[in-house]
Amino acid sequence: MEGSSGSKGYGDGHGEGGEGEEKARGRRGLIIVYTGNGKGKTTAALGMAVRAVGHGMRVLMVQFIKGSWHYGEMDGALRLRPEFELITAGRGFVGIIDDDLPREAHVKAAREALRVSRERMLSGMYDIVILDEVNYAVRLGLISIEDVLELIRVKPYSTTLVLTGNYADERLVDIADLVTEMREVKHPFKKGIRALKGIDF
């Protein structure tokens, strides 16, 4: 589907090698957003990555917030090489109990994550690029929504770009081809059940 992104010049590869060249390569990549207060946003993106790898596609996931803790996807990604690559660019969740880093460190990490995402996306190496928790990075003011929209604007035509995290900006929702909102109905934490290995991390 063409969606509003095509009509507004987002994701057509303008200014980075030419729209015509990208369209000549065939299929159109999508702009996909997983947002909402329910669990499953990163999980959905990882599921898409596994599916794509099954088709021999190349996938990159850049994690904007995670990084200080060890998550199962770090080791799982090694088993999906070389088709799947994971970069943990964040310095951990901002402002929680064990966050003893200055805010500037988180800002620097998020900006570097954005730079790396753009560089890798424009390399032509990947069919799918996932910006994990990027919506949180915007919400926390670590990077601007304008920077994210600019990255989307230069997305190669055939690349699918996935953006996860709660509080997706309305401008992002407006230009996306697919938006799924995860809504929490029940959560085991409210029963005193702590995060489970393989389920939550």
As given in the structure block, the two tokens for residue 116 are: 């790396």
Residue 193 within a domain: no
Q: Please state the rounded mean pLDDT for residues 30-35.
A: 98
> pTM (2 decimals)?
0.83
CA distance 179 to 175: 10
Q: Kindly state whether residue 28 falls inside one of the protein's structural domains.
A: yes
Going through the chain in order, the beta strands assigned E by DSSP cover: 31-35, 59-63, 84-88, 128-132, 160-164, 178-181
Name the residue range of residue 79's domain.
Answer: 3-182
Higher pLDDT, 105 or 160: 160
CA–CA dist 199, 61 (Å, integer):
19
What was the pLDDT predicted at 90? 66
Domain presence at residue 197: no
Across 107-119, average pLDDT: 94
Q: Which residues contact 74 (CB under 8 A, 6 or more apart)?
A: 86, 88
Of 3-7, 41-45, 163-167, 170-174, the range with the lowest mean pLDDT is: 3-7
Mean pLDDT of 93-116: 76
- Whether 146 is covered by a domain: the verdict is yes
How far lies 110's CA from each of 24, 77, 117, in Å?
34, 21, 10
**Is 56 or 13 the better-scoring residue by pLDDT?**
56
Residue 97: its pLDDT value, please?
A: 46
The one-character DSSP state at 195 is P
Report how many domains make up the chain: 1
C-alpha span between 36 and 82 (Å, rounded): 31
HSE on the CB side for 108, CA within 13 Å?
A: 6
Tell me if 106 is assigned to some domain: yes
Please choose, from the candidates 138, 164, 160, the residue with its C-alpha nearest in 3D space to the C-alpha of residue 73: 164
In a domain? residue 199: no
Examine residue 194 and state whether it is found in any structural domain, yes or no.
no
Q: What pLDDT sits at residue 8?
A: 55
Answer whether residue 71 is part of any domain: yes
Residue 75's CATH number? 3.40.50.300
In total, the chain counts a number of residues equal to 201
Q: How confident is the model at residue 104 (pLDDT cuts 50, 70, 90)?
A: confident
pLDDT of residue 75: 85
